[in-house]
């Protein structure tokens, strides 16, 4: 068996392969702003939006892709922890074409589910922007997104409050009815 | 009857008076802070390394070996940079095919040829980062690792800073010949 492997290796060694050879532009240069975004006091159940600007500094139009990345623990800002779910961060477009020497905006939306367990947290996630290319070397620019949630979960759809109002109306109605009926009898 | 109608009316009015402010209450102020007008940006003056035909189990080095490509910090914030590689894939007429060279995640050049097989290896070397104090050639793996500053310490890169570097590749000990293989090395940057 070993003899066969060695023979295969010897034969393959006599063959050759090609690595890509392109003739297009040979550099990469783009920027992303802002470099870091802090969202503070975001209540679970609420959403926040902001814009990323991609600046293509080259003489050619480029397609850019945007995706989330979990940062390595040692690279996170102090007190920050891993973002629980990438799907809470969405983009108006995950791929965008930017003309030469131009810029374009991508809207980023962060939605935290309305659960008490997500209150009072500090999370970090990176938004990576990369130019699509089949060249050997590629650049990805990571925007730090730091999200702090409110210590107490709040929300606009409050079923408890609505139920309380209904009960209040019923109780007040009964009370008022007896009050007015008694008043009418006394008169 | 009159008492009932009046009662219900009073109840509804009172309930609305107390509940409307609560219903209208906003959930608090959400603050979004964009750190100044900071733009993160790095550039590379070279992105291609056309090797042409290569033989099995041979080392290929960029020319010049260490000053081959220049990374420049173009934005207005300090950055940390990392590097990662991936498996090389066969492309036929521009279409990806199901044949790979696996990027070695460990320094296996000392392992016997029959074990290394279709694995290939990539290294980078930054100018000035020389042994014994520096790193010399550093293995590029599929897990991101520090490009600059090195893990042993050093300053992050400031706007206008440049770093020159080169690459080295060791082809597999055996592979299917006559195929155009492509791979990608990604250098990422994040605010320091």
CATH of residue B137: 2.60.40
Mean pLDDT of B108-114: 59
Mean pLDDT of A104-116: 95
β-strand pairing of B145-148 with B95-103: unpaired
Delimit the domains of chain A by residue range.
30-154
Q: Is residue B14 one of the residues assigned to a domain? A: no
- Return the CATH fold of A30-154: Immunoglobulin-like (2.60.40)
Q: Is residue B23 one of the residues assigned to a domain? A: no
Burial class from Cβ neighbours inside 10 Å (0-12, 13-18, 19+) for residue B70 reads: middle
Among the partner-chain residues A17, A34, A128, the one whose CB lies closest to the CB of B38 is A34
Among the partner-chain residues A20, A33, A165, the one whose CB lies closest to the CB of B182 is A20
- B149 is in which domain, residue-wise? 42-191
Beta bridge mates, A68: A127
CB neighbour list of residue B55: distance below 8 Å, 6 or more residues apart = A13, A14, A16, B171
pTM of the model: 0.79
Contact check, Cβ <8 Å, A15/B176: yes
Q: Is residue B92 one of the residues assigned to a domain? A: yes
pLDDT at A21 over 50: no
Chain A 114-133, CB below 8 Å of chain B: which residues?
126, 128, 130, 133
Which chain B residue shows the shortest CA-CA distance from A180? B3
pLDDT at B105 over 50: yes
Residue B33 — left, alpha, or beta (φ > 0 → left; ψ -120 to 50 → alpha)?
beta
Mean pLDDT of B165-190: 94
- Interface test mutation site (partner B, options A53, A62, A139, A180, max chain B beta carbons within 10 A): A139
Contact check, Cβ <8 Å, B19/A165: yes
- Total domain count for chain B? 1
Q: Is residue B86 one of the residues assigned to a domain? A: yes
Contact check, Cβ <8 Å, B174/A12: yes
pLDDT confidence of residue A17: 45
Which chain B residue shows the shortest CA-CA distance from A134? B184
Query: Would the ipTM clear 0.95, i.e. be above it?
Result: no
pLDDT confidence of residue A160: 56
% chain B with pLDDT above 70? 78
Q: Is residue B35 one of the residues assigned to a domain? A: no
β-strand pairing of B162-170 with A102-111: unpaired
Tokens of B180: 């155009």
Q: Which residues of B touch A6 (CB under 8 A)?
A: 113-114
């Amino acid at each position: 068996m070993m003899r066969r492997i060695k023979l295969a290796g010897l034969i393959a060694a006599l063959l050759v392969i090609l690595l890509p050879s392109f003739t297009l532009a040979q550099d990469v240069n783009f920027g992303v702003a802002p470099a870091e975004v802090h969202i503070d006091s975001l209540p679970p159940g609420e959403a926040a939006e902001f814009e990323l600007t991609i600046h293509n500094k080259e003489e050619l139009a480029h397609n850019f892709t945007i995706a989330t990345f979990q940062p390595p623990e040692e690279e996170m800002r102090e007190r920050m922890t891993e973002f629980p779910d990438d799907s809470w961060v969405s983009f108006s477009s995950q791929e965008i074409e930017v003309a030469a020497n131009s810029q374009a905006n991508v809207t980023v939306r962060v939605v935290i589910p309305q659960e008490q367990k997500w209150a009072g947290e500090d999370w970090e996630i990176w938004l990576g922007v990369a130019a699509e290319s089949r060249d050997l070397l590629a650049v990805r620019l990571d925007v730090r997104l730091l999200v702090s949630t409110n210590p107490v979960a709040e929300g606009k759809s409050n079923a408890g409050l609505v139920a309380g109002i209904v009960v209040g109306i019923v109780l007040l109605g009964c009370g008022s009815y007896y009050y007015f009926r008694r008043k009418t009898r006394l008169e | 009857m009159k008492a009932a109608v009046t009662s219900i009316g009073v109840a509804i009015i009172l309930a609305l008076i107390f509940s409307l402010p609560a219903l209208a209450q906003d959930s608090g102020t959400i603050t979004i802070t964009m750190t100044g007008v900071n733009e993160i940006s790095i550039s590379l003056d070279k992105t291609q390394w056309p090797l042409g035909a290569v033989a099995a189990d041979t080392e290929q080095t960029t020319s010049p070996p260490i000053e081959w490509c220049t990374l420049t910090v173009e934005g207005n914030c300090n950055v940390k940079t990392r590097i990662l590689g991936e498996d090389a894939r066969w492309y036929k007429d521009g279409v990806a095919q199901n044949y790979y060279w696996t990027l070695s995640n460990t320094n296996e050049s000392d392992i016997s040829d029959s074990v290394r097989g279709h694995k290939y290896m990539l290294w980078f070397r930054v100018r000035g980062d020389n042994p014994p104090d520096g790193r010399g050639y550093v293995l590029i793996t599929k897990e991101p690792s520090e490009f600059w500053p090195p893990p042993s310490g050093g300053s992050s890169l400031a706007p206008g800073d440049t770093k020159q570097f080169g690459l080295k590749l060791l082809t597999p000990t055996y592979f299917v010949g006559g195929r155009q293989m492509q791979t990608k090395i990604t250098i990422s940057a994040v605010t320091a």
